[in-house]
Chains A and B, each alone.
Chain A
């Protein structure tokens, strides 16, 4: 069985490869930083790290800035101690064998309890989750899906021009339970209609669940591994780290060789992630099948 790629293994390997090329120029911290940068680079390029958090409604607020504490972590997740919610991959992997996707997702607004061998899992998107620790905003990259547990629907992603057509010129003034979400700039997620405490359908204890692409946690201690990334792709972090360090030393030709290897890993991972996304989306899509006689939620506007 191959040795898992822990931070210690990655750094030792980088040290060895740099020394073999006649270079013992960097501190251990430099190597750790370079490896972490490489993993972040991979995450940004491929979006392999997916997380979710809750956005509690603020009455009358239309835009939620992911740089501030808008994004919260749901309670009851198994790795709370690390300060993170589930990754989507963990979530779907744990739910898939026990509950068909459509049923599982239809129960997302309550508590889900399943047992998978000895593992019991309980996820709650209750309003109590608002008290959990906010995710650091610098980890947020871009939105993937948004779930409204009050209506048990996926919010529909739209552009501003769509909203002007759906809600008219004064769409910003329309309040109620959100059915759509949109992006303004990279960090602002907008909800439409705007949740408002005075509306019957939206109270301030409600929330939406945002699934988003994120940067993985930077590794600190020796035995840590990159969560959710198989080892063959974690090697990309090592290659990027070597490339970056050699760039800093103006070893340009050597650097480009590492960059070439990194690019190949990145392309492979990108493909793997896009296939995974497609599979997940099909599972999520089951919930959204059209029903006969379904009416458009804002047909009268």
Chain B
């Protein structure tokens, strides 16, 4: 279960030895924690989620779900919607703002920041099925310490506490300690770096490297050849004139 901002602020204050909130308030620390979570998710792109967008009949412009940071896929009824640019639509499909029907595409560059326009305008039947927006999510949507949770795992919450402590110790006033602040910043950076490695871990994991072999190798795809020698009769030669033969170069 993800922790609330307030719970993490309490932990950070305890570690700052200021549970009495003489130097820093819980609300201030909770804000720093949210900033840490946002920065962590932005740098590592570790939070992937699917949000639902409920359609309304004959309404084409909607606010993007607050957690979505980068869109990877928009679908309706399990069909991909095509991402389009307004300039292209204006020249090739002038009625795109008024035509109704099933959703086929979406536009992000027409109606302002964090607005999505759905084409066609959903009719009454289409509006019963929601749009699904998949993408990289932010680490926190913060309004107050008691509302919402950090959108990261338990271990990663620890790095948000480090971030909050770094900002708190860096701040002018009682409790300031620049050396320690730098150190906690370093810890946050260490955690971010590690999460980035974990994000790419699947690409390089051992099953692929040794047991299965890489994709993109034609017929051997999925059946790695790492433990068998490649003998001359296995060689496939690519002839510059387009013919296949056995002349030296391995595929």
Residues on A facing B (Cβ under 8 Å): 37, 40, 44-45, 63, 67, 137-138, 140-146, 154-159, 162, 165-166, 169-170, 172-173, 179, 182-188, 215, 247-250, 252, 255, 277-278, 280-282, 284-291, 294, 296-297
Q: For residue B187, which residue of chain A has the nearest CB?
A: A247
Q: Contacting chain A: which of B20-28, B93-101, B175-183?
A: B175-183
B210 & A282 in contact (Cβ 8 Å cutoff): yes
Q: Hey, which chain B residues are within 8 Å of A188, CB to CB? A: 48
| Complex Cα–Cα for A250 and B223 (A) | 55
B128 to chain A, nearest CB (A): 19
| Complex Cα–Cα for A187 and B201 (A) | 12
Knowing that A156-B212, A162-B216, A289-B227 touch, tell me 12 more A-B residue pairs with CB under 8 angstroms.
Answer: A44-B155, A44-B194, A63-B50, A157-B205, A162-B215, A165-B215, A173-B78, A184-B134, A248-B17, A284-B206, A290-B223, A294-B223
A256 to chain B, nearest CB (A): 8
B129 to chain A, nearest CB (A): 15
Q: Hey, which chain A residues are within 8 Å of B136, CB to CB? A: 185
B155 & A40 in contact (Cβ 8 Å cutoff): yes
Given contacts A138-B153, A144-B205, A294-B223, contact A287 B179 (CB under 8 A): no
Bitwise interface map of B from 196 to 207 toward A, beta carbon under 8 Å scored 1, else 0: 001101110111
Number of interface residues of B (CB under 8 A): 52
- Identify the 9 closest CB pairs spanning chains A and B, nearest first: A185-B48, A138-B154, A281-B206, A285-B211, A186-B46, A288-B211, A290-B223, A183-B202, A142-B198
B226: interface (CB < 8 Å):
yes
B49: interface (CB < 8 Å):
yes
| Complex Cα–Cα for A291 and B184 (A) | 53
B215 & A156 in contact (Cβ 8 Å cutoff): yes
Q: For residue A189, which residue of chain B has the nearest CB?
A: B202
B206 & A277 in contact (Cβ 8 Å cutoff): yes
Q: Hey, which chain A residues are within 8 Å of B203, CB to CB? A: 157, 159
Q: Which of B211, B219, B220 contacts A281 (CB 8 A)?
A: B211
Given contacts A188-B48, A285-B211, contact A156 B205 (CB under 8 A): no
A63 to chain B, nearest CB (A): 7
Given contacts A159-B203, A248-B15, A296-B219, contact A287 B211 (CB under 8 A): yes
Given contacts A162-B215, A296-B221, contact A143 B201 (CB under 8 A): yes
Given contacts A252-B180, A290-B225, contact A281 B210 (CB under 8 A): yes
| Complex Cα–Cα for A155 and B208 (A) | 9
Given contacts A142-B202, A145-B207, A179-B222, contact A290 B15 (CB under 8 A): no
B153 & A154 in contact (Cβ 8 Å cutoff): no
B228: interface (CB < 8 Å):
yes
B11 to chain A, nearest CB (A): 10
A215 & B155 in contact (Cβ 8 Å cutoff): yes
Bitwise interface map of B from 136 to 153 toward A, beta carbon under 8 Å scored 1, else 0: 110000000000000001
B45: interface (CB < 8 Å):
yes
Q: Which of A143, A169, A184 contacts B80 (CB 8 A)?
A: A169
B224: interface (CB < 8 Å):
yes
Q: Kindly identify, within residues 156 to 215 of chain B, every residue whose CB is under 8 Å from any CB belonging to chain A.
A: 158, 177, 179-180, 183-184, 194-195, 198-199, 201-203, 205-212, 215
A42 to chain B, nearest CB (A): 12
A136 to chain B, nearest CB (A): 8
B47: interface (CB < 8 Å):
yes
Q: Hey, which chain A residues are within 8 Å of B16, CB to CB? A: 248
Q: Hey, which chain A residues are within 8 Å of B202, CB to CB? A: 142-143, 157, 182-183
Q: Which of A154, A170, A250 contacts B180 (CB 8 A)?
A: A250
Q: For residue B47, which residue of chain A has the nearest CB?
A: A185
Q: Hey, which chain B residues are within 8 Å of A284, CB to CB? A: 206-207, 210-211
Q: Which of A170, A185, A296 has the most CB of B within 10 A?
A: A185
Q: For residue B152, which residue of chain A has the nearest CB?
A: A186
Q: For residue A285, which residue of chain B has the nearest CB?
A: B211
A5 to chain B, nearest CB (A): 22
Q: Hey, which chain A residues are within 8 Å of B45, CB to CB? A: 185
